[in-house]
Structure 1
């Protein structure tokens, strides 16, 4: 009955979430349902297991949600995101419309701009380019997904995406874990995605299919106000779309160099903190109880991203102070944009903690750990499944690592596997099957682009699932054969 209760609770949570119910309500309700079917104490599971784990997630990762949302909002309101999109359009032009959209998305997200902020700028840019190049707009969502939600989220070394930060405390790794494997994976995703998009573009031209909009485009502001999209988006990424409407956007974007500089600061400072500054810090005091009895290795990855984003925010404000006349309101909106996502993902993590503590979960754990192919394959399967079920890469990844991270780390040490490979495999696995039709980022992107699942979801599958799956398989094979590099 315990395992059946877990399945029923999970199914109810998924069904209600996709109907627009707040995950803040249904996650604890589903956790209590699972506990009740197992005959476990309900109040203890709610206040001790659920809330204890959810609070731990917030304590560990809220700074990253906060700083990421702040940076994205300030980049948007200063006009920097628009300036970068316009610069990329000028450099590549309509004749390379597909490549321009992909590279603009990659540049923004690898530089730390929140996904939904990027969506709201890239969609109008893509419409203009695709119209000039006479490319069917149904290919737009796939091009944007390739640039924003694949290699820059899960594979490129040093990416400040929250998904890349989550494994660091579990495996004592840095944002640059397994850099060589990450670069190989990025090359596979990008090459496959661009090849597929070019094939579809050429096929459309042979059929005489060009740019045509079947219905009026929805503005980003209209999309952000839709309640269902807000609820779905809150578990998918680290920015509440509703806050995109707050603050005041600059009417005079900065020069491209000024707009790009804060992105460079994120990357350079992250690199310096990871390999130059923190390795030289004497942090033995972290072993004391008042500091959580931890180690520098366990927190250095998160600290690196925190310092990098903070430095980029200060640089951005200094360079664009005159373009941010309502700085207080913009920063308030950025802070508020982090609140709902971090609590939503924390609620998913709390649900996972309750489920993992139930006797029936032992069957699931034994099945996952018995998967042939070793811990890398097992970790990939577990993370993929949980990310798909929750519709959240960060939620599925944290649930998997909370329940099984210690076991995988022990097995890795026994087999001589570098924890950096576990990190890279876990992050890449979270960024594959989370891209299912119900994913909040997918729903939001289609709405912003004025497309439907029927028109455009097939392309999203190819560049957002098939390409990353190929890259994941390559990383597992290479990591098993030659180790981390």
Structure 2
């Protein structure tokens, strides 16, 4: 009954999230339902105040600075005109002859540089709309093009990406954001290459069927995004903060921190492990430095810097608490007796190769929650120590475990109930019926193919 209670709770969480109910409310309610159905109702309040809220609070303590600086940097890039300048520069270089590749690369450059995928979607959609209209390419392919550039290779595969999906595994495996760089690049190239090839084949097929852009009632800009580009910035200057994010991250990861004797930190903070934290510290320093550079160098051009900073800061709150609530839900589920059966089943899927078990756990939980960061957090909070022990016993490099975890979380996370998918379709003014099949191909099918390739290569040749 305990296992059935967990399954019912998970299915309801997925269904109700798809119906648009906030995870902030759903997570504690569905956790409470699982507790009641398991027969542990007498402990409901202690489980909520201890297990749920403690896990939520610990997650916020650990990752809030990354959410905060990431959202702030994205807003500064948008309101300074840097994001628009980069997008326009790529459009000028590639033109309307390769509209899919143009949109994918524009999104990829921005997200790899640390700009939030939601900021990118709002910034790139108007450009995509004009490009696709001029080239007479079906508008229904725009969401898949934006998703490929924003939700896939730059989010989970490319080494050094500051995406939260690449940062969550760091403290669990004591790695850094550049974990298994060679395998990450291979996975990224698979997603980028096959994704653009697939979408271009859809463009060719549409042209053969005489299907053009179509007739659409174009989405009007919302009040929050109507003034998205108040200023312009030279392309060379716009690229500097993106280069700073990746460059400073690498510098501190491989140069500064390894050269320092950080033993004094253990003396002052007994519960802090520098090896488990320097990967996160490097990303935070890079995002903070790039944000400061944007503020200082564009000082004379801000229309309302205070408003930009406030929007960026406030924009971090909903994502962090949504994810933290899902982590709290996972902690409650993990405390139930029925979870032991599920845990053992997952861990024993491939006892000789924990990479397969890990990939399955991350994929399933990301699919259920509709969130790569939420599923990844739940899985690692509940099973992270077991996977690290299994990896050490099997002689598997923790960097390989890190990369597989990130890639797996970015596979099933874009099922129809995914908040990212729903938001993207709303931005583009399209429906699931019109666009979801192509979104699923480039964000689910191809990333899973890349994941399988990495597991195979990692098993045969180890981490590289």
TM-score under structure 2 normalisation? 0.97
Q: Give 1:19 deviation, angstroms.
A: 2.2
Given the alignment of the two structures, is residue 17 of structure 1 paired with residue 22 of structure 2, yes or no?
no
The aligned residue for residue 56 of structure 2 is: 54
Q: Give 1:8 deviation, angstroms.
A: 2.1
Trace 1:141-290 onto structure 2 (pairs within 5 A): 141-213=143-215, 215-221=216-222, 244-245=224-225, 249-288=228-267
The aligned residue for residue 39 of structure 1 is: 39
**For residues 68-120 of structure 1, what are the alpha-carbon distances to aligned partners after superposition, in whole Å with 9 as ceiling and x for unaligned?**
00001111111111111111111110012111101000000000000111000
Q: Give 1:138 deviation, angstroms.
A: 1.1
**For residues 404-430 of structure 1, what are the alpha-carbon distances to aligned partners after superposition, in whole Å with 9 as ceiling and x for unaligned?**
111111111111100000000000000
The aligned residue for residue 2 of structure 1 is: 2
Q: Give 1:287 deviation, angstroms.
A: 2.6
Q: Give 1:379 deviation, angstroms.
A: 0.4
Q: Give 1:251 deviation, angstroms.
A: 2.7
**For residues 322-350 of structure 1, what are the alpha-carbon distances to aligned partners after superposition, in whole Å with 9 as ceiling and x for unaligned?**
22131111101110000111111100000
Contact persistence 1:109–1:118 (CA under 8 A): yes
Structure 1, unaligned runs of 5 or more: 223-243
Q: Give 1:220 deviation, angstroms.
A: 4.2
The aligned residue for residue 371 of structure 2 is: 392
Secondary structure (helix, strand or coil) at the match of 2:414 reads coil
Alpha-carbon separation, structure 2, partners of 1:25 and 1:363: 27
Alpha-carbon separation, structure 2, partners of 1:88 and 1:245: 22
Alpha-carbon separation, structure 1, partners of 2:153 and 2:245: 17
Contact persistence 2:79–2:231 (CA under 8 A): no
Alpha-carbon separation, structure 2, partners of 1:437 and 1:79: 32
The aligned residue for residue 114 of structure 1 is: 116
Given the alignment of the two structures, is residue 101 of structure 1 paired with residue 80 of structure 2, yes or no?
no
Contact persistence 1:219–1:448 (CA under 8 A): no
Given the alignment of the two structures, is residue 322 of structure 1 paired with residue 300 of structure 2, yes or no?
yes
Alpha carbons of 1:203 and 1:249: their partners in 2 closer, same or farther (altered >3 Å)?
Answer: closer
Contact persistence 2:122–2:225 (CA under 8 A): no
**For residues 125-166 of structure 1, what are the alpha-carbon distances to aligned partners after superposition, in whole Å with 9 as ceiling and x for unaligned?**
111111111111111111111111100000000000001000
Work out which of the residue numbers 310, 319, 332 in structure 2 matches 1:341. Answer: 319
Work out which of the residue numbers 249, 274, 284 in structure 2 matches 1:296. Answer: 274
**For residues 210-235 of structure 1, what are the alpha-carbon distances to aligned partners after superposition, in whole Å with 9 as ceiling and x for unaligned?**
1123x31213427xxxxxxxxxxxxx
Work out which of the residue numbers 446, 452, 464 in structure 1 matches 2:431. Answer: 452
Alpha carbons of 1:249 and 1:212: their partners in 2 closer, same or farther (altered >3 Å)?
Answer: closer
Contact persistence 1:65–1:342 (CA under 8 A): yes
Alpha-carbon separation, structure 2, partners of 1:143 and 1:435: 14
Alpha-carbon separation, structure 1, partners of 2:318 and 2:99: 35
Alpha-carbon separation, structure 1, partners of 2:431 and 2:4: 35
Contact persistence 1:35–1:42 (CA under 8 A): yes
Work out which of the residue numbers 398, 415, 435 in structure 1 matches 2:394. Answer: 415
TM-score under structure 1 normalisation? 0.93
Number of residue pairs the alignment of both structures matches: 461
Alpha carbons of 1:186 and 1:250: their partners in 2 closer, same or farther (altered >3 Å)?
Answer: closer
Q: Give 1:36 deviation, angstroms.
A: 2.3
Alpha carbons of 1:171 and 1:72: their partners in 2 closer, same or farther (altered >3 Å)?
Answer: same
Alpha-carbon separation, structure 2, partners of 1:212 and 1:21: 32
Alpha-carbon separation, structure 1, partners of 2:255 and 2:110: 25
The aligned residue for residue 445 of structure 2 is: 466
Structure 2, unaligned runs of 5 or more: none
Alpha-carbon separation, structure 2, partners of 1:171 and 1:29: 31
The aligned residue for residue 82 of structure 1 is: 84
Alpha-carbon separation, structure 2, partners of 1:138 and 1:154: 25
